[in-house]
Amino acid sequence: MKKIRIIIALAGLLIASLAQAQQEPMYGQYIFNSSVLNPAQAGAEKLSQWGVLSRFQFVGIKGAPNTNTAYVNLKLPRQLGLAVGLYQDKLGIEEHFQLQADLAYHARLSDSWRLSAGIRVMASNHNFNFRKLEHLEPGDPYFAENITSGILLNAGAGLLLSSQRSFFGLAMPRVFGKDMQIYDPGNYLFFNEKNRHLFAYAGTNIPLSHSIVFVPSTLLKYADDAPLQLDMNTMFVFDDVFSFGPLLKSNLSDGWVDALGFLIGLQLGENWYFGYVFEHPTNNLNIVTKQTHEVSLRFIWGEQKDRFRSPRYFF
């Protein structure tokens, strides 16, 4: 039975790898919450914000990935920024919690351009909830205990080049391929190998008229032992209040599109912003699921009033 338990844990890891090696939080609204990708985004704008975000992936599949996020991103004096995020990922019986803090410095290169550099520290915990499994022998002692990783540490870093119209980012949210375990709960089974991710992204805003702004952006994702992925978003912003646009997720290594969908954003008064994403899988997953949903809510405050005119509003 001990071997069966190990096999089930390995199967959970295999499912995670099939779900696009999802070991970093995955979002359709990355342009709304880029601090999860890049620690250099901390305090990258005069605006500060806090927010919550939930992603319900592959709806209809039991144990499908679910991600929940709460974060705050603050502009500090002396060209500094601070961001703190709490993340929860669920996949089957596997549950992951992560607390991270980012510190960034923003140096002005010219009147138009600024270069930002950020570092990240994180503490996380990984659990396998075996008690939730349905098995043939109720009361089996080998499934009576859950497995926990204890407390794990890692670090990340990133760069950001930005102007009023455009931005370019490069980040590795998790530098070390193996977390440092600072507390061992005494379990005989524990996995702390992590796929290191490298994110490169860019975007700009193009005024089409006095009331309409076009904001295209793209994100390239590389991970160890996983296909190269490309996300493309386009947003049309109307009167600084309503935004809408299509999105595409592509698996470049296999040369086909993984998902198509759209984004919706709504400015609620001066400070509140609501975002929604719908994705429809176009790969083999559409046999068992037709939808992924993502919702977010943010509260924004700061000096800049003309928010939508700068793509950095979406940081």
Phi and psi torsions of 85, nearest 5°: -135, 145
For the chain, how far is it from start to end, CA to CA, in angstroms? 49
pLDDT in tens, 192-243: 566 688 999 999 999 999 999 999 999 999 887 777 889 999 999 999 899 9
Q: How confident is the model at residue 2 (pLDDT cuts 50, 70, 90)?
A: very low
Name the residue type at position 244: F
CB-based contacts of 287: which residues, under 8 Å, 6+ apart? none
Phi and psi torsions of 211, nearest 5°: -115, -5
Report the predicted TM-score, pTM, of the whole model to 2 decimal places. 0.81
Structure confidence at residue 255 (pLDDT): 62
Q: Which of 48-57, 143-152, 154-163 bottoms out in mean pLDDT, i.e. has the lowest?
A: 143-152
Residue 33 has pLDDT above 80, yes or no: no
State how far the Cα of 18 lies from the Cα of 74, in Å rounded to an integer. Answer: 36
The maximal CA–CA distance of the chain, rounded, in angstroms, is 69
51-55's contacts with Cβ under 8 Å and 24+ in sequence apart are 51/296, 51/297, 51/298, 51/299, 52/296, 52/297, 53/27, 53/29, 53/275, 53/294, 53/295, 53/296, 53/297, 54/294, 54/295, 54/296, 55/26, 55/27, 55/28, 55/277, 55/292, 55/293, 55/294
Tell me the domains of the chain and their CATH numbers. 2-314 (2.40.160.40)
Distances (CA, A) of 32 to 18, 91, 145, 296: 26, 24, 39, 9
Phi and psi torsions of 41, nearest 5°: -75, -10
Q: Which residue has 């008064």 as its token pair?
A: 269
